[in-house]
Amino acid sequence: MKLLNLLTDPTPLRVKLVRRLAKHLSLFTYQELLFRGLVDRPHYGRSIFEAAKLAARLGYPKISVIEFGCGGGKGLVCAEKHIMEVEKLFPVKIELYGFDTGEGLPPPKDYRDFPHYFKAGLYTMDRQTLESKLNIAKLVIGDVKDTCATFFSKHNAAPVGCIFHDLDYYSSTRDALELFDAQASNFLPRVFMYFDDIYGDNTWLVTSFAGELLAIDEFNRSHETKKIVPNRPMSIVYNNTLWAHHMYNYHDFAHPRYNDFVAENEQLAHEANITLRAIPSHIESMR
């Protein structure tokens, strides 16, 4: 069975080998592993990294990272590890919040919550055990519609730069997206996002007319200057991975800092690249 699992595991064998070697021998830096997708939950690490980079360029000293739907808490534990590494790379402190009912999934409301695939009570949390494993993460327990409404006033959270959605249901995701109804100052102008439940197996049969995809579509149609769209660069850079196609970005086009220039490094690199490419043809023309 172990051999069969190894042969059918979608993770390339070379990736698993490099991960093991890097973990035990420290052959590579965190950033090198991250950019090659060789870390645990690379979608978490890359989202946190990009959010911190944007915050640093805009001069934000602190940001928040949110996970909606914590279950057993493996995501939060992994996010803490990424945060510890990312804070070494940027002058930005990072807060971490995990939203959950604490009691597993609530009863599905209707077909849009995929009741043929999910049922009440799945993914329960052992809160005491989870909290014993956490260092910086704070749990936000309750119905997400209620906890989102009071989150910023109750927790005095830093501006949000990164959100991971794993609430499974349309109804819960829709309620979680109401967090964006808060003041623009509570967010970076662009927020890095991951939606876990936009692909599935042939029992689940994910559709854009239910679940997270429907919640995203309805949000976009009901907000003129706020949009949630796929992160195209991630899907190109990591085109051979599924997780990259779960990556999205929230844009607040009316955010007071949306138009602040943050691409100095990229433009310098672009100009240098153009110059280097132009040298051979220029020399050729002088012969």
Identify the pLDDT of residue 280: 44
Residues 92 and 66 in one domain: yes
Is the domain of 211 the same as that of 171? yes
User: Quick check: helix, strand or coil at residue 34?
Assistant: helix
Rounded (5°) CA angle 193-194-199: 145
Query: Which of 286, 248, 254 has the alpha carbon at shortest distance from 183?
Result: 254
Task: Check if the beta carbon of residue 149 is closer than 8 Å to that of residue 190.
Answer: no
- Tokens for 151, please give them: 């989150």
Residues 220, 210 share a domain: yes
Shared-domain flag, residues 177 and 167 = yes
Same domain, 11 and 150: no
pLDDT at 22: 54
Total of domains in the chain = 2
Question: Are 22 and 141 members of one domain?
Answer: no
Domain with 28, as residue range(s), is 1-39
Task: Kindly give the confidence (pLDDT) of every residue in the chain, 287 residues in length, as a single tens digit, with 9 standing for 90 and above.
Answer: 444 554 445 555 555 555 555 555 467 899 999 999 999 999 999 999 999 999 999 999 999 999 999 999 999 999 999 999 999 999 999 999 999 999 999 999 999 999 999 999 999 999 999 999 999 999 999 999 999 999 999 999 999 999 999 999 999 999 999 999 999 999 999 999 999 999 999 999 999 999 999 999 999 999 999 999 999 999 999 988 999 999 999 999 999 999 999 999 999 988 887 665 554 433 333 32
CA distance 207 to 213: 7
Nearest CA among 234, 258, 237 for reference residue 248: 234
- Give the pLDDT of residue 7: 46
Beta strands 187-195 and 226-230: pairing type?
unpaired
Q: What is the pLDDT of residue 282?
A: 34
| pLDDT in the model for residue 252 | 98
CB 276 within 8 A of CB 75: no
CATH code where residue 126 lies: 3.40.50.150
Q: Are residues 136 and 222 in the same domain?
A: yes
Do 136 and 4 share a domain, yes or no?
no
Q: What CA–CA distance (Å, rounded) separates 281 from 198?
A: 47
